[in-house]
């Protein structure tokens, strides 16, 4: 059909032939009014009127996808009996063009590609769409060298070539999962296809070879050859990750494609620690060196739980101390199985930066609340990732805190603290904030007090009346100014008493009774700003984090008991496990570490 060059298809003029795949010919096109370059795919099929209607439904779903690693579908039409798709133009070509047959890619490069691809696929899966045709030919590169996935759902278009006979005839079966061959595609099918791409990039060849029919038979019945038998430099842990994603039974693969990507990244980083993978220069492989207590006894080493290429900015233990919640970039929230070091859930429903996420208290302990800059509080299941409730503010949410019974959430939004009834999804009462630039908020364990602190060292305390399961809300608050001369960056209520620990930018920490305004203890062991605080479950000790160190000290006397050199970068978050055995710390060095206490 190369004779179509120069013709107008819809609003677009075809200017150059780009290539041909199993389902379509691809042309460079230009919008005739806007002069915007696009890619136009003319499918190898014709559609009846009924089939065109079916195609329109699928195309609308694909066109609704908005993700930085998905090539946008801009238009769809039928001309001369041929359906055509208009898509965002990726000037960098495809990975198939850039990676010649037999080429082995560095593991770090493979991880980079997989993270981008998995992010796009996870987003699509959550919107009810499968790719169905994932392969390097459909992994495009934009001008910045980042991945753009194309051809989403194209095989679901009637007569597009989705039948097994047509795919075999066109040689497009190399990346088909067993269940997809059997006509039962599911999200795990895209994971299988991505794992085949990883196998190809690490070894230089696909695991299954032969005629299309022979390849189909191997997908269905044969285990892939050992990855390490073809690429000895691949570590056993990386091989195991790829093997899991290539399981014949989709239920034996990773929970979702994002979990596969995270497992591969973690395997690559563990490989790097043994010297098999060169790490970026911004990372140090030197383990943190423990300091010594005054008695000169060597401190226990930190346990490295997690390492990644992005800062970790949040950690929170589940009530059973078996799972850990964290935020590792602006929008994604992770739930880990601590014992098995596995990612159980990657929550990606927030569309703007997540400000905070926290496990629910007793009665809501399987739920997580998270809030973002778009003013939305989302309450969701930690087990399934299912969104259960949404509370919508009219302005960005800065901070929030659960009530101890799990029925309410207090949020800082604009110039008010709003008390939300979670089930009813409504604000019960709104309290005016009398502070400038609130930095942090917390709700006491007995439900009687909410406290907020500001950048100028002031507090505001709201008093609640609690009778049984009922809260009585009245405008009864007290403002304390000049409590400290620097910004208050961290505060936590004791789990046992109505006393408060707060840390400021000058490195000082106070134990304080806000009801009386009387300071109870002061700790001055830090030489830098306090970023995070955590109480021991019995309320006897406090863990505090500065730029690089974690201190554990007696809350009654303000005397240090233990000092750790925690991270290679700044410590961003702390939490003490409810069973009292460990402290989790997170840092800008991309690690989560455990400290036995």
Q: How far apart are the first and last CA of the chain?
A: 71
CA distance 23 to 5: 19
Q: Are 208 and 215 spatial neighbours (Cβ–Cβ below 8 Å)? A: yes
* Helix, strand counts (H, E) of the chain: 10, 38
Is residue 41 marked as binding? Answer: yes
CA quadruple 512, 513, 516, 519: dihedral positive or negative?
Answer: negative
How far, in Å, CA of 148 to CA of 143, rounded? 10
Question: From the centroid of its chain, how far is CA 40?
Answer: 33
Residues pairing with 77 in the sheet: 84
Site of tokens 């809260």? 471
Cα separation, 522 vs 527, in Å, equals 14
User: 197 — phi, psi (to 5°)?
Assistant: -65, -40
* 426, two tokens: 């409504």
With beta carbons less than 8 A apart as the criterion, state whether 574 and 296 touch: no
The tokens for 330 are 């602006």
CA nearest to 404, candidates 343, 447, 350, 375: 447
Contacts of 10 (CB under 8 A, 6+ apart): 75, 77, 79, 84, 86
Write the DSSP assignment of 166-187 as a string of letters.
HHHHTT--TT--HHHHTT---H
**What are the backbone angles phi and psi of residue 228, rounded to the nearest 5°?**
-70, -20
What are the residues whose beta carbons fall under 8 Å from the beta carbon of 385, sequence distance 6 or more? 345, 346, 347
For 357, residues 6+ apart whose C-beta sits below 8 A from its C-beta are 314, 316, 325, 327, 333, 368, 369, 370, 371
Per DSSP, helices labelled H in 369-469 are none
Region of residue 515 (left: phi > 0; alpha: psi -120 to 50; beta: else): alpha
Residue 252 is classified by DSSP as G
- Sequence-separated (6 or more) residues with CB below 8 Å from residue 174: 135, 196, 206, 208, 215
Q: What angle do CA 402, 407, 411 make, to 5 degrees?
A: 40
Which residues line the annotated binding site? Answer: 41
Which residues line the annotated binding site for ATP? Answer: 41
């Amino acid at each position: 059909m190369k004779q179509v060059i120069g013709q107008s298809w819809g609003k677009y003029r075809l200017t150059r032939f780009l290539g041909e795949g199993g389902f379509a010919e691809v042309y460079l096109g230009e919008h005739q009014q806007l002069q915007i370059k696009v890619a136009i795919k003319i499918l190898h099929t014709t559609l009846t009127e009924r089939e065109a209607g079916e195609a329109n439904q699928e195309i609308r779903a694909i066109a609704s996808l908005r993700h930085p690693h998905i090539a946008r579908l801009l238009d769809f039409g039928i001309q001369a009996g041929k359906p055509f798709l208009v898509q965002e133009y990726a000037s960098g070509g495809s990975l198939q063009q850039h990676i010649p047959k037999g080429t082995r890619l560095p593991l770090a490069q493979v991880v980079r590609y997989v993270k981008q691809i998995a992010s796009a696929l996870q987003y699509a899966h959550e919107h009810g769409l499968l790719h169905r045709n994932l392969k390097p030919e459909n992994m495009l590169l934009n001008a910045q060298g980042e991945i753009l996935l194309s051809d989403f759902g194209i095989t679901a278009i009637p007569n597009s070539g989705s039948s097994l006979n047509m795919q075999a005839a066109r040689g497009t079966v190399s990346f088909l999962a067993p269940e997809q061959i059997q006509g039962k595609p599911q999200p795990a099918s895209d994971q299988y296809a991505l794992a085949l791409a990883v196998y190809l990039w690490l070894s230089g060849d696909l695991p299954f070879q032969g005629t299309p029919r022979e390849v189909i038979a191997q997908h269905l019945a044969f285990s892939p050859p050992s990855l390490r038998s073809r690429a000895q430099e691949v570590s056993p842990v990386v091989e195991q990750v790829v093997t899991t994603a290539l399981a014949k039974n989709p239920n034996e693969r990773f929970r979702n494609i994002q979990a596969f990507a995270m497992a591969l990244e973690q395997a690559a980083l563990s490989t790097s620690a043994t010297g098999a993978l060169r790490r970026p220069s911004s990372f140090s492989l030197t383990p943190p060196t423990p300091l010594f207590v005054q008695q000169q006894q060597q401190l226990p080493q930190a346990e490295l739980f997690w390492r990644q290429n992005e800062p970790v900015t949040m950690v929170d233990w589940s009530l059973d101390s078996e799972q850990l919640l964290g935020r590792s970039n602006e929008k994604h929230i992770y739930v880990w199985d601590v014992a098995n070091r596995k990612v159980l859930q990657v929550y990606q429903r927030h569309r703007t930066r997540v400000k905070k996420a926290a496990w629910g208290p007793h009665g809501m302990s399987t739920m997580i609340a998270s809030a973002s800059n778009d003013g939305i509080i989302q309450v969701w299941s930690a087990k399934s990732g299912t969104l259960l409730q949404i509370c919508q503010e009219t302005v960005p949410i800065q901070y929030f805190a659960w009530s101890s019974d799990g029925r309410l959430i207090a949020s800082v939004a604009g110039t008010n603290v709003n008390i939300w009834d979670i089930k009813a999804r409504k604000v019960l009462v709104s309290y005016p904030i009398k502070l400038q630039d609130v930095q942090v908020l917390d709700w006491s364990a007995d439900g009687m007090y909410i406290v907020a602190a500001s950048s100028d060292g002031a507090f505001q305390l709201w008093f609640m009346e609690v009778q049984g399961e009922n809260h009585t809300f009245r405008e009864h608050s007290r403002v304390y100014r000049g409590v400290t001369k620097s910004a208050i960056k961290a505060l936590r209520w004791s789990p046992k008493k109505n006393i408060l620990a707060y840390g400021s930018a000058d490195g000082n920490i106070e134990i304080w009774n806000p009801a009386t305004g009387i300071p109870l203890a002061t700790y001055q062991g830090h030489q830098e700003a306090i970023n995070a605080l955590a109480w021991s479950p019995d309320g006897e000790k406090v863990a505090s984090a500065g730029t690089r160190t974690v201190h554990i000290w007696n809350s009654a006397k303000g005397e240090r008991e233990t000092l750790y050199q925690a991270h290679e970068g700044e410590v961003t978050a702390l939490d003490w496990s409810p069973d009292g055995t460990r402290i989790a710390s997170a840092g800008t060095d991309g690690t989560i570490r455990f400290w036995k206490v």
